[in-house]
Amino acid sequence: MVEPIPPVDSRHKARILMCPPDFFGIEYEINPWMNRRVGSDSTRAAEQWRGLHRLLTDLGAEIELLEPVRGLPDLVFTANAGLVYGDLFLSSRFRHAVRQRETPYFDAWFAAHGFTVVTLPEGLYFEGAGDALFCGETLFAGYRHRSDSRSHQKVGELLGVHVLPMELVDPRFYHLDTCFCPLDPETALYHPGAFDEYGRKVITSHVPRLIEAPPEEAASFCCNAVVVGRDVVLNVGAPKVEQALRRAGFTPHATPLGEFLKSGGSAKCLTIRVDGEDAASWRTHP
Ligand code: ARG
């Protein structure tokens, strides 16, 4: 078990790891959004990625870059590298062989940047910040399509945190970060249709303030948003959610990310916080 992380310094600068989309593309199909025949437009993907990078920089985040690797089209989705907790990096165990090849590159980056890299036992599947998100002190964890629930138990033991595993019932929302987005320790945005009744109950009974994404807006991956303080960066196409965010005291910033949606990803998947602070837990390095 690791030492609990002391709370808060909200002036703390967000540090985010991204990977330029030089080799991004739809080269295999491992979720319902991916279609090799449709593919994606690499020029437009590069523009959209730069738009996201610029926006986050303008919001005061410091962006670190992972060097892209030819043959690893999904390395852009740094959220799946693992789970960052203080200076621990809990490396992912990808379900699909095509993504397992990313792990050495992610591990090397984290090791070179002062993190202690921890690997879960073999036979478990765990897809990092894509499936495990802190809201306050609690780790909300999604399972079925990618991570399994046993891995979340293990993560809870290793970190000494309370984990709430929830089954993801709609294959379009195959990672938790596609349908659940903690905004601060008491507030989250979520898409109820991605969970069964039990999962919805878990969320409604543990998060005091909730914003619901309607199905048509959830399909633009509005829940896959990057939170920097009170600013929320998300794909275009979710006007109702943007309005609800404003009412809840957040400032939405929409930027087109449609080329990444074709791979089943959006703003959040393209980023991982590496400052030890989780946006929604307001924690910082031990
Ligand atoms: N094509 C990638 C995959 O299927 C997309 C990953 C999106 N990442 C996320 N954190 N939701 O694995």
Asked if ipTM goes beyond 0.90, one says yes
Note whether residue 26 is domain-resident. yes
Note whether residue 148 is domain-resident. yes
Cβ–ligand 1 distance for 262 under 6 Å, the answer no
Number of domains in the chain: 1
Note whether residue 1 is domain-resident. no
Q: Which residues of the chain have pLDDT under 50?
A: 1, 4-9, 279, 282-286
- CA–centroid distance, residue 6 to ligand 1 (Å): 31
Residue 279's pLDDT is: 47
175 in active site? yes
Report the alpha-carbon distance of residue 73 to residue 169 in Å, rounded: 26
- CA–centroid distance, residue 264 to ligand 1 (Å): 6
Note whether residue 50 is domain-resident. yes
Note whether residue 10 is domain-resident. no
DSSP bridge partners of 118: 90
What tens digit of pLDDT does each residue of 4-40 get? 444 444 556 899 999 999 999 999 999 999 999 999 9
DSSP bridge partners of 61: none
Report the alpha-carbon distance of residue 201 to residue 166 in Å, rounded: 10
| Atom nearest to 128 CA in ligand 1 | 10
- CA–centroid distance, residue 28 to ligand 1 (Å): 12
Which structural domain range is residue 203 located in? 15-284
CATH number at residue 219: 3.75.10.10
Q: Which two tokens stand for residue 176?
A: 């938790």
269 in active site? yes
Among 53, 152, 175, 191, the one annotated catalytic: 175
Look-up of token digits 């309607």: 214
Predicted TM-score of the model (pTM): 0.94
Residue 7's pLDDT is: 45
Q: Tell which one of 27, 34, 72, 77 to mutate to probe ligand 1, the residue whose CB is within 8 A of the most ligand atoms.
A: 77
Residue 243's pLDDT is: 98
Contacts 24+ apart (CB under 8 A), 92-95: 92/126, 92/127, 92/128, 93/119, 93/120, 93/122, 93/124, 93/125, 93/126, 93/151, 94/125, 94/127, 94/146, 95/125, 95/127, 95/145, 95/146, 95/147
Note whether residue 223 is domain-resident. yes
Among 19, 135, 181, 269, the one annotated catalytic: 269
Average pLDDT along the chain:
93
Note whether residue 4 is domain-resident. no
Note whether residue 5 is domain-resident. no
